[in-house]
Amino acid sequence: MNDLQYRWAIVAAGGLLSCVAIGSMFALPVFLRPISEATGWTIAGVSTAMTIGFLAMALGSMAWGSLSDRFGPRAVVLAGAVLLAAGLALASRMTSLLAFQVVFGIVVGGGTAAIFAPMMACVTGWFDTHRSLAVSLVSAGMGMAPMTMSPLAAWLVSVYDWRSAMLLIAGLALVLMLPVALLVRRAPALAAGPAAPAAAAGAAPAALTVGQVLRSPPFIILLLTNFFCCATHAGPIFHTVSYAVTCGIPLLAAVSIYSVEGFAGLGGRIAFGLLGDRFGARQILVLGLLVQAFAAPAFLLARDLGSFYAVAAVFGFIYAGTMPLYAAIARENFPLHMMGTVIGGIAMAGSLGMSTGPLVGGLIYDMTDSYRWLYLGAWGTGMGAVLIALAFRPAAKTRPAPAMA
């Protein structure tokens, strides 16, 4: 198989790895009430495990991305798969809330960080044309998670106790991810290793250093935009199942709202990828952020299953569509040989933004017995993301890498 064909195998591998990794971590929203009811732990307490997980993803994303620049994505992804499965298995055995929070948060979150940023960086190196579509298809694996892993988690926790269900998900993640990770390879332009990054990446003679890139205004603006973008949808993603239950919808039906959101997100990722290739990733990102800001509080208008489906479809389509555009914008503005570090940094900011949703939403619910202020607050952070994104200006251009048409 030549490189032009194998690059699509990399996309497929990235999509599957993202689906299993993100789906395994996001089984926790499905387990939220069963864990609380079985253990007596508060909703906010269990939600904190997810917040710690996002913080671990934030701290790990740039580190794993830098390691993938140095040693290649395959070793990093293999390590992430093992950590993810081990973290889920260990968390399922924890009998204290603190131990559960630490194990699930740090180990599962750290393992998940080793999948997404390195794979997105890897794929950007394989494509010079159709780049937005390619990273969108990898990101589409995340969109598949609510349609596959979430219903599986809901079925498992309805048949078994939450501990057994989480342990089974750990085993499935390991079995699926290890063989797929072995298919991952460096982009041909970097196949010679890090020794000749400037030539491989097509950088200008006076190439930017990593430090210069990380301090540059375009990079900082991308970080801030992704932080506020993810803070906007973090709470609604994590707490909508629980919110729907408070509206009188049974758990299994409520989980189907999450699946509708994921299915819509799958379409959004592909649509936004195509639009980004045609009209520019930055322009489509700003438009998506604006619609996302107004879609989040629309959940407050939902009362029955049908209205939840309608809002979830719009919200999922928009927020999921925006996410892969950050990688495309990064590849357009920064050197290829440090793409793992750059995308890892952007993912770090996104993970920090995501970390706000579970804990803040849990605290809001525990204090007010309502999720109203969670969704209203999402509008405010969404508008913040729009304003920051409008300030983005392209980085200094480097000489383009040889195209892989």
DSSP string, 91-130: HTT--SHHHHHHIIIIIIHHHHHHHHHHHHHHHHHH-SSS
For residue 204, pLDDT over 70 is answered with no
pLDDT, mean of residues 194-201? 44
**Helix-strand-coil percent breakdown of the chain, rounded to 5?**
85, 0, 15
pLDDT at 321: 86
Task: Please tell me which residue, 130 or 10, carries the higher pLDDT value.
Answer: 10
What is the span of the domain harbouring residue 381? 3-185+210-390
Instruction: Tell me, yes or no, whether 255 lies in a domain.
Output: yes
pLDDT at 192: 52
pLDDT, mean of residues 274-300? 90
Q: What is the pTM of this model?
A: 0.69
Distance CA 52, CA 61 (A): 14
Instruction: Tell me, yes or no, whether 194 lies in a domain.
Output: no
pLDDT at 191: 59
Residue 172 banded pLDDT, cuts 50, 70, 90: very high
Instruction: Tell me, yes or no, whether 302 lies in a domain.
Output: yes
Residue 120 banded pLDDT, cuts 50, 70, 90: confident
CATH number at residue 103: 1.20.1250.20
Distance CA 183, CA 180 (A): 6
Instruction: Tell me, yes or no, whether 153 lies in a domain.
Output: yes
Backbone φ, ψ for residue 312 (5° rounding): -60, -35
For residue 71, pLDDT over 80 is answered with yes
For residue 6, pLDDT over 70 is answered with yes
For residue 176, pLDDT over 90 is answered with yes
Instruction: Tell me, yes or no, whether 335 lies in a domain.
Output: yes
Residue 101 banded pLDDT, cuts 50, 70, 90: very high
Instruction: Tell me, yes or no, whether 204 lies in a domain.
Output: no
Structurally, how many domains does the chain consist of?
1
**392, 15, 28: which is closest to 228 by C-alpha?**
392
Instruction: Tell me, yes or no, whether 228 lies in a domain.
Output: yes
For residue 219, pLDDT over 60 is answered with yes
pLDDT, mean of residues 345-362? 82
Q: What is the dihedral of CA 30, 35, 37, 40, to 10 degrees?
A: -150
Q: Identify whether the C-beta of residue 181 lies closer than 8 Å to the C-beta of residue 328.
A: no
Instruction: Tell me, yes or no, whether 401 lies in a domain.
Output: no
Task: Please tell me which residue, 205 or 379, carries the higher pLDDT value.
Answer: 379
Residue 290 banded pLDDT, cuts 50, 70, 90: very high
Owner of token pair 């253990």: 39
Mean of pLDDT over the chain: 83
Task: Please tell me which residue, 186 or 143, carries the higher pLDDT value.
Answer: 186
Distance CA 295, CA 362 (A): 21
For residue 202, pLDDT over 50 is answered with no
For residue 50, pLDDT over 90 is answered with no
